[in-house]
């Protein structure tokens, strides 16, 4: 996969075609700030993020996010706000550079950025400036092209909202299905399982996705058993909690994601006895 690094005004002139051709995009603000008016860099950042969402591509915001931590133990208040606002804008990832390459305390810088990101994520739906649509909306370009997996992902977002699901779980052998789910900006974690370590490393870039290495299951029941065990071991949810399962049939074949299933963890049966059991009852 190729990530396009946007660092010159010339790239902004043909931005849509670049994002369409690339697998992901990076907002290289340091280079952009050298090549163009500094006051225009935040505008460019928002435009790049919006178009990346339209095409369902992951987007990284990079450069000088916690610059003062190259020399100091703590960032400035402005830097903390910068990281949080990049997440509110819809960045899939925020990136350190000099802070970890030549900084006085690289681990501290990483922990600080992670802390800011987690705090921002708790308030995403409240303060997000995401301009490509509401949370749970399908990316515009993917929706327009009527991709099957994109349509399934949008349906999953609606099910999660209406059911109050705790998690989305998916078998995503090469990461394509996880990317579509991620781009619907789900407000719950997406547990993405695969037997391909390279695909899992790439999935770490995607918003809300928790990549998990698993053996290829022999059938759907084996997949459910393995996922239940994993979720309970990591204390991600409790028995009886609803999760939405997204997979293909047969399992493990890339490009055949075609099934959505509502699953209650631990196979706990959920029956609403207030509803009629047949068309003849009231």
What's the confidence (pLDDT) of residue 132?
41
**Calpha distance 157→188 (Å, rounded):** 10
Query: Predicted confidence band at 143 (pLDDT cuts at 50, 70, 90)?
Result: low
pLDDT, averaged across the chain: 84
Asked if 6 and 25 touch (Cβ cutoff 8 Å), the reply is yes
**Calpha distance 89→184 (Å, rounded):** 14
- Average pLDDT, stretch 259-266? 86
| More confident position, 86 or 279 | 86
Asked if 18 and 25 touch (Cβ cutoff 8 Å), the reply is yes
| Least confident stretch, 104-113, 146-155, 185-194, 225-234 | 146-155
What's the confidence (pLDDT) of residue 274?
44
- Average pLDDT, stretch 92-99? 94
Query: Tens digit of pLDDT for each residue in 39-49?
Result: 999 999 999 99
Query: Predicted confidence band at 140 (pLDDT cuts at 50, 70, 90)?
Result: low
What's the confidence (pLDDT) of residue 202?
92
What's the confidence (pLDDT) of residue 236?
87
Q: What SS3 class is residue 26?
A: strand
Q: Would you say residue 281 has pLDDT above 60? A: no
Q: Percentage of the chain surpassing pLDDT 90?
A: 48
Q: Is 76 left (phi over 0), alpha (psi -120 to 50) or beta?
A: beta
Q: Would you say residue 152 has pLDDT above 60? A: yes
Residues 6+ apart with CB under 8 A from 146: none
What's the confidence (pLDDT) of residue 255?
63
pTM: 0.81
| More confident position, 133 or 45 | 45
Asked if 61 and 79 touch (Cβ cutoff 8 Å), the reply is no
């Amino acid at each position: 996969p190729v990530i396009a690094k946007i660092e010159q005004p010339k790239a902004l002139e043909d931005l849509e075609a670049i994002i369409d051709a690339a697998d992901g995009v990076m907002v290289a603000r340091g280079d952009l700030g050298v090549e163009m008016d500094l006051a225009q860099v935040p505008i460019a950042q928002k435009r790049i993020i919006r178009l990346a969402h339209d095409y369902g591509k992951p987007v990284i915001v990079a450069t000088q996010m916690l610059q003062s931590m190259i020399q100091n133990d703590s960032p400035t208040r402005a830097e903390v706000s910068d990281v949080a606002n990049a997440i509110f804008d819809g960045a899939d990832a925020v990136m350190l550079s000099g802070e970890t390459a030549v900084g006085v305390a690289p681990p501290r810088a990483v922990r600080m950025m992670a802390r800011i990101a987690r705090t921002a994520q708790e308030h995403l739906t409240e303060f997000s400036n995401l301009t490509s649509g509401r949370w749970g909306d399908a990316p515009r370009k993917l929706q327009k092209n009527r991709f099957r997996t994109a349509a399934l992902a949008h349906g999953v977002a609606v099910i999660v909202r209406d059911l109050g699901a705790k998690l989305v779980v998916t078998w995503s052998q090469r990461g394509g299905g996880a990317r579509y789910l991620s781009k619907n900006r789900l407000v719950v974690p997406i547990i993405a399982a695969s037997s391909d370590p390279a695909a899992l490393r790439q999935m770490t870039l995607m918003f809300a996705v928790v990549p998990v290495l698993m053996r290829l299951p022999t059938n759907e029941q084996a997949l459910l058993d393995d996922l239940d065990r994993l979720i309970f071991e990591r204390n991600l949810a409790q028995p009886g909690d609803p999760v939405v399962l997204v997979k293909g049939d047969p399992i493990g074949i890339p490009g055949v994601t075609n099934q959505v299933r509502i699953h209650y963890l631990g196979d706990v049966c959920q029956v609403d006895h207030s509803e009629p059991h047949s068309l003849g009852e009231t």
